[in-house]
Amino acid sequence: MIYTVTFSPAIDYIIHMDALTQGEINRSKRETCHFGGKGINVSVMLERLGVRNTAMGFISGFTGRALEESLWKAGIDTDFVYLDEGITRINIKIKTDQETEINTQGASISHEKLKELFLKLDALKEGDILIVSGSAPSTIPEGSYETMLDRLEGKGIRLVIDTTGPLLKKLLKYRPFLVKPNKKELEELEGSKIRSDQALEDRAGALQKQGARNVLVSLGAEGAYLLSEDTRAYRMQSHSVSVVNTVGAGDSMVAGFLAGYLKTGDYPFALRLGLAAGSATACSEGLASLEKIKRFMNPFDRLDLGR
C-alpha cells in the first residue's frame, strides 16, 4: 500500500483578475477552488493513474471536512488525524499577468496529535511506500520528520521524499527510494547555478552518495533528469505546452513516476509517465485528467492506467 503524509493540507482558492491594485477594491473575473497540499496532490494523481493509496496527515474544522469528503468522492482512502482547533488552511492564488500566492500557516499541531499520527504510521508493513512531501510547518516541533522516520527505520518501508533545503539533506540518511528536487532547489542546496549537464549529473550524484537511491530532477521547460539506483542516467525533453498552472506539476511528476515504476519496474517508462503527468498538469487549471496524461505518452507504450 502507498501512503502519503501531508502535515498541512490546504484548500487553494484561485482568483482570476485583470489586475491587482493594492489599497483598492479589486474585483475578480472568476474563481476556482482546489483541494491540495503536496501529498494530497500525489494521492489524487495516483488514484487517477490507477494506484490505490491512503492519504494521511492533519485536518481541522469545516475546511478539513470538505477536503476529506472530496478525497472520498475521488475514491481515495483517508486516515487523517483530526485537530481540535483551527481550520485546514486556505491559500489564495491570484492570477493576473503574474501569479501571486498567499500561503497561510494553518492550525497548530500539538505533541499529542503528532504522536497520534506516529502511532498510525507504526502500522505500516514491509513493502509499503510512504511519501513525505512539503516543508516542515512552523506548527510542529523541529525534528518531527526525523522522529517520524526513526520509528519506521528497519521495517522495509520504501520512502519517497519531496522536500527541499536543509530538511532534504537531513532525510537522506534514511535511504529514500526516491527524492525529487527541481533544478532551482538543487541549485539552492549547493548555493550555485547548474550551467551544464555535467553539473546536473554531479549534483544528483551527490544526493545519491548521501543516501538517495533514485534522484528525479524536474527541469521545467527543459524536461526531466533521472539518476537511477543502478547509476544509469536518463534525460528526457519536456513536452511543448502552454503553461497555465504550476501548482501540482511536480507532485504529478512524482505520482506518474511511481505509478509507471510500480506497473512496469522500468525506469525509462516511469520517467516518461512522470514527465507526461507533470506536463499535463502544467497545461490544466487543476491536476490533469487521465485522458490528458495519456495524450502526452508515446503511442507505442502499452498503457494500463486508471481503473
User: What is the distance between the alpha carbons of residues 271 and 257, in angstroms, rounded to a whole number?
Assistant: 6
CB hemisphere CA count around 141 (13 angstroms): 11
Q: Is 251 a catalytic residue?
A: yes
Catalytic residue from among 251, 266, 301, 304: 251
- State CA 61 to chain mean position distance: 23
User: Beta strand 30-36 with 10-16: parallel, antiparallel or unpaired?
Assistant: antiparallel
Three cell numbers at 9? 493540507
Beta partners for residue 182, in sequence order: 218
Closest CA to 32 of 11, 53, 52: 11
* Type of residue found at 51: V
Beta partners for residue 34, in sequence order: 12
Classify residue 176 by its DSSP letter: -
* Cα–Cα–Cα angle for 172, 219, 202, rounded to 5 degrees: 50
Contact 176, 147 (CB under 8 A): no
User: What is the distance between the alpha carbons of residues 232 and 226, in angstroms, rounded to a whole number?
Assistant: 8
Q: Which residues are catalytic?
A: 251
